[in-house]
Every structure is written in structure tokens, then in C-alpha cells.
Amino acid sequence: MEQSNQLKKCLKPHWVWAIAFGSAIGWGSFVLPADWIAMAGPLGAIIGLAIGALLMIVIGVSYGFLIKIFPITGGGFSYAYLGFGRRHAFFCGWFLTLGYISIVALNASALALLAKFLVPEVATIGEMYTISGWEVYFGEVAIASLALMLFAWINIRGGSLSGKSQFVFCILLVTGVLLVVIGMVVSPSTSFDNMVPLFQPEKATWSAIFAIVAIAPWAYVGFDSVPQAAEEFDFSPAKAFMLIVLALLMAAVHYSVLIVATSIAMPWTELVAGSPVWGTGEVVQGVLGNLGLAVLAMALLMGIATGLNGFYIATSRLLFAQGRASFLPEVFARLHPAHSTPLAGILFTCAVCLLAPWFGREVLLWIVDMAATGVAIAYFYCCAAAYICFKWSAASPGQHYEGCVSPFKKVLSLLGALSSLGFLALLLIPGSPGGLSLPSWIALMGWGSLGAAFYVARRRHIHQMSKHQLDRLILAADKGSDVAPSAYRSDDRNSGH
């Protein structure tokens, strides 16, 4: 398989920003503010999400540096190979794939949930069965399935169409949110006094805040779509870091203003006590009427669209990178003959996600709850690889790249790696504020076991290529060059290459 099998350079900077921002916020910023307020109080939720955004920016330093050096698709998969070799690359790619596919599926189910709220007579056609207390209707399955097929078609038609669509979706989203938030703030029936108490009175403040911080890998996942699209940049890769920072800052502001808009409508303790299906939607409808609800629903629809589109891009490119390196079957490395898009990756993502609506939202949430684990793993590998690349001084041993001599960035990459481990600890340590539930643990172990079996089946394909071949296919290194740090060379010696 030759390196000429490359994606077309067609993405403009504002499209890439839209991919990062739109993927990072998705449906959750509209549907979950009441849940977050219940967890930590209005200010506690805002502080937790702000801390999460700052930690993501620290992690983004590593992404920006590595994108500049290696502007090729693959993201965490490629960076795990760069720093630690092919075994780690498989491990990281496997769990990151789960994280991305889960979010595609969840966005589709969020569309069905929106339909249940707005047009229940359509979404609740044909009650079929109940799974874990969630009634599954043919109407909602059909809505989610049609959305998945539509965005698969958009992505097959080319990177330009998906990039343009993402930017338009983001503009409509931001416009809708601004109108709703301004309307809520200026309405005589709302008051900032309703935000008191600012923190959840039934929990220790630090514990409540860190429960929100623990979901940051999930809340902001999407900015790491930027390296997945790096091979398609029609601009200098050096701009990637600034695009990531702008996307994360705007995402944090977006989360915060919707939390404020939700909590000023009525005393938030009364709101969350009622366990609303869609807290933000209910208070906006109560204050601004059906017109306000329609504007919010339009913005939410755009949030779902950006999530679907952005993670279709990220998932299909991740699968393409793994296929090109023979970590997955070669079919994933083939591009559409007319549109130069990763056809197999898009169709595979669509096919897997078309199964999800049939299992009910509660089962899907178990999977998505632990998908943050896969994302945090990818964050760690990226930051650790950047730490290896950054040098304390020009006299430091190892391969030198442009801009790699930076003690400050080396420290930031170390902080990013430690932050990623912190996220993993919050998710995986029993009793921690953001610990996984038992069903999520079962799903995580099931996916890990499936990955181990798949690795055994693919081991010959994964290890049959030489290091130089993989450098060229994964890192776009020139044939025969030795671009990768020495940290993973033992991996290749042990495998016989």
C-alpha cells in the first residue's frame, strides 16, 4: 500500500474551526445543563467546565505541535505510534474508535429525543419493546436512521461539502443561542437571584466541581477532530493550534451561557427537583413561549448536525489511517474513486450506528459513559509523544524538528499527560466523583476483550511491515528517513524489524 493513497487537500481554516467547535459542543450543551446544575450548582458547573477547557487547551498544545510536524490523518493513533510503537498505536486506535463511533450514535439518538419533545406524534409511532426502562418506538428509530444515512451521504460526497455544511451549521447554532440567551437575560420574568445557591448545597464544593471536570474529555471531545482532518488542510498546519484554542474557548463560553440561561428562569433547586425531560427547553418555553422554544430547537438541531458531521469526519479518517497502515483490513484504506473520501470508514460508521437506536437510549448511554475513557487514552498518548519530541535545549539528544526546542512547551506537554491520567483516574477509580457505573465497566471490558481478540487475529498484518514503511504510511515520512524518536525503536526490534 503506497503513501500516494492520500486524502484531498480541500479544508479551509474556518471549516476546520467549525469541525472542532461543532463537534465539541454537540447536543449535550443544550440537553444537559439542568443535569450539570443538579450535580454542582450553576457556578460549580461553570467553574468545572472552565477548568476542563483550560486542561484541554494544555492538551491542545501537544496536538498543535504534532499537527505542525505531521499533518496527516490519524490523530491519537498516529501519535501513539510516533511515541511508543505499533502495539500502543493499536491499543489507542481501538479505544479512540469506540469513543468516536459512540458519539455519532448518541447524536443520532439525541435527534430522536428532540423529535419526542417537539413532534411526539411522529416519534412515538409503533411502540416495539422496552429495554432498561426505555420504550423503543419505530418512529424514533426511523428518525435516527435517516439522519445517520443523510450525513453518511454528505461525507461520501467530499470533504468540501462536509466542511462547508459544518460551518453553516455552526453559524446557525451560534445565532440561535445568542437570540435565546439575550431573550432570557432581558426578560422581566427571569432573575439572576434564581442562581442562588451558586453551588450544590448537598455536596462538598470541590467534589461537585471535579465531578464536572471528570466529564471534560467527553464535553470537549471533538477538538481532536482537527488532527484527523490534518491531511486535508488547504492551509498551513501551523494554524491548527490557534484553531483548537478558539474552538475550546468558544465551546466553554457556549456551555456557560446556556447554564446561565437555564438557571435564571426559576429557582434552579425547584427546576432540578422536577426531573425535567429537557430542562433548558422547558424553561425557555415558559419564558419566551413557543417562538423561543422553536429558536432553541433549531440551535439544538444544528448542534446535533455538527456532532454527527464532525464525528463522521473524525471516525472515518481514523479508520482510514488504521487501514492504510494495515492495522485494519485494507478496504478501509480505499478512497472513493470520484470524491476521494474514505468510503469504507464512512459506511462502516453508518452501519454500526444504525444498530444503536434499536437498543434504546439507556443502553447507549452506558457505552457513551465509558467512551470518555478511550478519548482520555488518546489525549495521554498525544501529550506523551509531544513530551518526547520537545527538547529542553538544542544540545538535547534525539531527532530535532522545527520549534521542538521549548522547555515551556515540554512542561505543558507533561502537564497535559498528567491531566489525561487524572481524567482516567476520575473515570476508573471506584468511588471517584466521575467513576463509571457497573454497566459502563462491563461495556468497557467487553470492548477491551474484543480488541485483544482482534489484535491476535491481525497481529501478522500489524507486524509484517518494516518500521520505515510504517513511518511513511502513518507519519508521512520520506522513504528511508528516520523521523521518529528512538523511544519506540525497541518495539520494532522485538517484532523482528
Amino acid at site 180: V
Q: Is residue 61 predicted with pLDDT exceeding 80?
A: yes
The pLDDT value given to residue 283: 94
Amino acid identity, position 410: K
Across the strands, what pairs with 137? 127
Per the listing, cell 471506584 goes with 430
Long-range Cβ pairs for the range 327-335 (8 Å, 24+): 327/77, 327/86, 327/89, 327/90, 327/93, 327/458, 327/461, 327/462, 328/458, 330/1, 333/1, 333/5, 334/5, 335/5, 335/7
Please check whether residue 341 is in contact with residue 309, taking contact to mean a CB–CB distance below 8 angstroms.
Answer: no
Angle between helix axes 407-428 and 42-69 (nearest 10 degrees) is: 130
| Mean of pLDDT values over 245-264 | 95
Does residue 51 surpass a pLDDT of 80? yes
Position 402 scores a pLDDT of: 65
Q: Which residues contact 197 (CB under 8 A, 6 or more apart)?
A: 41, 269
Neighbours of 281 (CB within 10 A): 22
Cα–Cα distance, 22 to 12 (Å, whole number): 15
Pairwise CA distance, residues 438 & 388, whole Å: 36
Cell of 261: 440561561
Closest Cα to residue 339, out of 74, 163, 155? Answer: 155
Q: What is the pLDDT of residue 482?
A: 43
CB atoms closer than 10 angstroms to residue 352: 16
What is the pLDDT, as a whole number, of residue 494?
A: 42
The string of pLDDT tens digits covering residues 415-434 is: 999 989 988 888 888 877 66
Instruction: Supply the pTM of this predicted model.
Output: 0.87
> What single-letter amino acid sits at 253?
V
Q: How many CB atoms lie within 10 A of CB 2?
A: 9
Helix (H) or strand (E) holding 131: strand 127-131
φ/ψ region of 282 (left if φ > 0, alpha if ψ in -120 to 50, else beta) reads alpha
Report the alpha-carbon distance of residue 261 to residue 258 in Å, rounded: 5
Q: How many CB atoms lie within 10 A of CB 123?
A: 22
- How far is residue 306's CA from residue 107's CA, in Å, rounded to a whole number? 9
Locate 381 and state its grid cell.
498518548
Mean pLDDT of 353-374: 79
**pLDDT over 70 for what percent of the chain?**
92
Mean pLDDT of all residues in the chain? Answer: 87
- Residue partners of 332: CB distance under 8 A and separation at least 6: 319, 320, 322, 323, 324, 342, 344, 345, 348
Contacts of 227 (CB under 8 A, 6+ apart): 63, 66, 67, 73, 74, 75, 76, 78, 79, 240
Cis peptide leading into 197, omega within 30 of 0?
yes
* Mean per-residue pLDDT, 253-276: 91
pLDDT digit string, tens, across residues 185-223: 999 999 999 999 999 998 888 888 988 887 777 788 888
Domains of the chain: 13-494 (1.20.1740.10)
Give pLDDT, residue 98: 87
Cell numbers 440551535 correspond to 299
pLDDT digits (tens, 9 = 90+) for 95-125: 999 889 988 988 888 888 788 878 888 888 9
Record the cell numbers describing residue 485, joined without a space.
Answer: 524518536
Surface-to-core class of residue 394, CB atoms within 10 Å of its CB (0-12 exposed, 13-18 middle, 19+ buried): exposed
More confident residue, 113 or 289: 289
- Are the C-beta atoms of residues 342 and 228 closer than 8 Å to each other? no
Q: Please indicate whether residue 88 or residue 135 has the higher confidence score (pLDDT).
A: 88
What is d(CA 183, CA 43) in angstroms, rounded to the nearest whole number? Answer: 21
Q: Counting beta carbons within 10 angstroms of the beta carbon of residue 451, is it exposed (0 to 12), middle (13 to 18) or buried (19 or more)?
A: middle
Is residue 90 within 8 A of residue 455, CB to CB? The reply is yes
Q: Which residues pair with 136 in a beta bridge?
A: 129
Where is pLDDT greater, at 489 or 397? 397
Q: What are phi and psi of 95, to 5 degrees?
A: -75, -30
Q: Which of 327, 487, 292 has the alpha carbon at shortest distance from 397?
A: 487
CA distances from 431 to 312, 428, 435, 446 (A): 34, 9, 6, 21
Cα gap 101→392, rounded to integer Å: 38
Decide if pLDDT at 493 tops 80.
Answer: no
pLDDT at residue 143 greater than cutoff 70: yes
Instruction: Tell me the pLDDT tens digit for each residue of 475-490.
Output: 876 543 344 444 444 4
